[in-house]
Structure 1
């Protein structure tokens, strides 16, 4: 008899499994249909011995002391500040060049052959910004800050490839995630804590799940096991529409196809990620993992990312009609008394890793406050399970 059946061994499921086992002393079964733990953050040594991320680069960053301290129980850290270049064509010349993204002072000066100061570039952007009465779409966000030309150079093509929609058709939250700077700060993130697990994400998850009260089974689907393993309650971190048998239809997601390459050279590119916003380039970005991990190796591994409408669900598509459909599933989820829905797919929202950890910790606090700890040997539950009730 398990007190909890947790579906999904990514951040949401693993954090809750660890808290329930450690704090409440309850027995937890964690399952995942993939053949490994760690969800999309899964990393491993490839055939060449290079530590790489199976599902594209995962860079940890957070402003939450609580989240950082919690994860620090299971890993030491390698300080790392992610930097990204975008390969674009220089206005007026058509020459291809790489410049920092998010757009900053160096981006503008390099693209236009200028030598503006911080105060001057702010005025330069203001002169090009378009007046938008109400910021509703991802296009509105960018053109209202930096104007049409930079929007088309950096955002329009990339967004069309990533989402198969024009930015004018997407919620403002998509491009609002990428700031615009007037200084020379070329870090992709500015969070207080920026670091990578020193031995990788998978090692961190292994330690998180290494509790005698936790049983892990990978390569197992919930539909196959839900009626076979006695359990009291469920934590679901998969797609919410899947849990309810797609009763109202499928929630739309964007996926990715990853092309991994190991090269017989020590370095491929100068930074962890290079973006390719041009629509004629079929992939959106190339990432090189040794920048992230600090690994010393004579070879290097890179990943090209090709957006797709098919495959594993990665990105909920932020449009009003999709949110309305999710609300119907959310009402079903809220009516469940013994099932908790946690994580990006279960709540149909794009979360960073640290946000999922924070959500899982907050969910645990609600569970701990509302439910008395289960007795490990509840005779009535055991009797009913044995009777097949």
Structure 2
């Protein structure tokens, strides 16, 4: 009998497995359809010995000290600040758009104050801001929207930015300085030995059993468990009762090249030409020294593994129907990007999983400074043991 069956060995499932096993001494079975742990963050050494991310680049960044400190128990880190270039008008310019982007693109020599005035002069007044198109044109105007965002978004999402919720392009900032980092979070680093190595340590507790190449339906009536944590698509769990929730998928083309370096930056975006959206060179991310290099091309597609929930009001309405069902399903906890139909980053998934753990542990948590303390009176002792109360009664000198 397992205390928890966890469906999915990505960030959400693995963090919960580790916490429940190590902190509450729960017996956990974690399963995954795929032949490996680590979900979409899975990395491995290819046949040339280069560490690559099988499902495209995963760049860790967070402002949460709690999340960073938690993961630091399972990995050392390699400091890494991510930089991206965009291929626009035959030039490679910094992305997100910054002072250098504008100066290089238009052959100007503006200062920070002047580029701020430039953005204000080309921005269009939009009220209220509802769509991804609204977000961009209200910040940088229509010409830059067309050059950097419109076709990239069309390729990535299979629809025009005017059809997508504002949250999609709100993720990409616009800067008036020369900061060319893609992220500005407090903590920016990559697991020193890769994500898979970190997940192996997360799941190393003896209370955790792992089954791969396994669909949870295959074991529901075979292996007994008390509660389930589900990280897969929520619509699939309920047999698509309210219809299928739309997701975008990706196709990946990995190549190893007989050259030391291929790209001038870790990632080059292609917002206009080519069927792929971007190329990533992994040695930038990992810091690995190798005589060859490996890259991956990303081709957005409608079919395939679900990666990105599509943020549109009608999809949110469908999900809300599923959420009501999920909230009313006893003994099953839904967590992660697919189970909650949210476009979360890795750190946000970890934070969500830690929050659920605290909720599950709520009735069993004791104050840290009381853990292990004993209170005795009239032959009875009550010990706070970290998972509840241990009551000891002495009769004729014998403990019961």
Q: Quick check: 1:78 aligned with 2:78?
A: yes
Residues 257-316 of structure 1, C-alpha deviations (whole Å, 9 max, x = no match): 0000011111110111000000x4100000000000000000111000000000000000
* Alpha-carbon separation, structure 2, partners of 1:348 and 1:59: 21
Q: Distance in 2 between matches of 1:225 and 1:252?
A: 27
Are 2:315 and 1:336 equivalent residues in the alignment?
A: no
C-alpha distance in 1 between matches for 2:129 and 2:261: 41
The reply to whether residue 352 of structure 1 matches residue 345 of structure 2 is yes
Secondary structure of the residue aligned to 1:344 is: coil
Aligned to 2:156: 162
Mapping 1:78-117, distance limit 5 Å: 78-89=78-89, 96-117=90-111
Whose RCO is larger (CA < 8 A, sep 6+)? 1
Aligned-partner Cα distance in 2 for 1:189–1:133: 28
Output one character per residue of 1:221-257: Cα deviation in whole Å (capped at 9) or x when no partner: 0111111110000000000011111111110000000
Selected match of 1:223 from 217, 227, 240: 217
Correspondence for 2:229: 235
Matches within 5 A, 1:293-372: 293-370=286-363
CA RMSD in angstroms, aligned pairs only: 1.2
Name the TM-score, length of structure 2 as normaliser.
0.91
Written as runs of structure 1 = structure 2, the 5 A alignment for 1:120-159 is 120-159=114-153
Deviates most, 241-250 or 151-160: 241-250
- Matched residues in 2 for 1:116 and 1:220: separation? 58
For residues 222 and 174 of structure 2, the distance between their equivalents in structure 1, rounded to whole angstroms, comes to 53
Quote the offset at 1:129 in angstroms: 0.3
Q: Which residue pairs with 1:58 in the alignment?
A: 58
Alpha-carbon distance in 1 for matches of 2:42, 2:320: 30
Structure 1 residues without counterparts, runs of 5 or longer:
90-95, 375-389
Give the aligned partner of residue 36 of structure 2: 36
Among 151, 171, 175, which residue is 2:169 paired with? 175
Post-superposition Cα deviations, 1:36-64, rounded to whole Å, max 9, x if no partner, equal: 00000000000000000000000000000
Deviations 1:146-204 (A, max 9, x none): 00000000000000000011000000000000000000000000000000000000000
Instruction: Tell me by how many angstroms 1:371 deviates.
Output: 6.3
Distance in 2 (alpha carbons) for counterparts of 1:335 and 1:87: 49
Look up the match of 2:16: 16
3-state SS of paired residue (2:295) = strand
Q: Is 1:286 aligned to residue 279 of structure 2?
A: yes
Q: In structure 2, list runs of 5 or more residues that go unmatched.
A: 366-386, 389-400
Question: Rg larger in 1 or in 2?
Answer: 2
Kindly state the Cα deviation for residue 318 of structure 1 after the two structures are TM-superposed: 0.4
Name 1:377's counterpart in structure 2: none
> Structure 1 segments of 4 or more deviating over 2 A?
370-374
TM-score normalised by the chain length of structure 1:
0.93
Q: After superposition, what is the alpha-carbon deviation per residue over 1:25-82, rounded to whole angstroms, capped at 9, x for unaligned?
A: 0100000000000000000000000000000000000000000000000000000000
